[in-house]
Structure 1
Amino acid sequence: MYKIQKYLKLQAFKFSTHNEDGRINSCIDENEVIKLLIEKFGEKIKKPKVRMWYDILAFDYMYGWIPINVKTTTTKTSDNTGNFAICVYAFTNEKLDIHSENTYKSGKMSVILLNKLKTKQYNTNNKKDYYFIVLNKTDASDIIVNSVKGLTLLTPNIHNLPFQICWKKNRAFKYEKISKKIKLLVDCFQKTKLSWIDNFMTNIKTLDL
């Protein structure tokens, strides 16, 4: 991970500004970053099919193949992270095949996550985590490396479950016991406000005409 970080710091990456929608620019940027990594590290980087729960797999001599999410952001806003598979993989002892073409959709993953949390089947394997490489759009030399289990502040958002991340507040990896990380996750879910759609559907189901 830190070899990737060091390499990207030296690239003086040029971020896309062609589209009014910053999300489209970010997608373009992230694809270009992945191309750079494949050119530099070759077979140590694997790019999956589209709509997978990670952007690349990278080979680490100590950890083996690790799933990585590549992000480009100002670091000041709260950004989307991924689907529920990242939580199942990082927080629980569930075995997900990272080499499978299975996209592990959030519906099924949310059921597994809840069951694992209820039965306290946590991930105690320090080598099993979901990683982030984050490029700062306002400073191309600022590359943040972190992981799900290294985060210290999660932003609740009912429209973008499981959570969002403000990278300015999650710059450094912080090791804590898995029980503390689980509490951080559950607290985030419990603080998430229901949307108007949830409230409407709850009330309409009890409407008696």
Structure 2
Amino acid sequence: MNRFLSSIAFLFSTVALLASGYAAYEVFMLRQAMTTLQLERNAAPTSSNPTPTTTTTAIATNSPTETAATPTPDASPTTNTGIQPGEFVQPAFGGKAQVELLSVKRIKDPKTGNRDVVNVQMRIRRVAKDDVETGGIYTYDTKARNPDTSETYERVDTSRATGQVDVSNLRPQASADGYVWLRIPEEVKTIDIFVPQTAAFKNVSISS
């Protein structure tokens, strides 16, 4: 009986020893597996440099502003653009008046269509403060002369000119305008003008 119990006790001891050995083996294998897993994680390549993000930055460039070229008109040939105020003023009527040329312009003859007519416009101003004898300036008797050839030119007709401007009827510093059409060849560009009882106007350009 004692031997049987001893055998039973030995069997249980053996089983317990085997069980503890198996448990120790399982613990060992579990640790090995965990260690291997940890090593694999550590050995996995970790990208320390993140993929660079390409950022396109628009660079503003100051391109020169294009300026439309404005064509410069060619200088026109010497053409008279007209008489300036006060450019041609001469004493008249014995110093008691003065005559100013307002315009000397070539125009077309309405009858023939030729441009051989020059319209001379003038202003007659009384400058005397004292009494002026009766009389005036006959604008229709105005003549012109070619300073190069001395050829003279006269009015077209009396209907194309004002009549007499009576200076005595003007108040001091008052004025009256007159005109006359002169027959002057188209090729003539400069003339001397002779208004009755007035100093001569020299080298007056004809505007077109």
Q: What TM-score does the superposition give when structure 2 sets the normalisation length?
A: 0.22
- Structure showing greater radius of gyration is 2
> Greater strand share, 1 or 2?
2
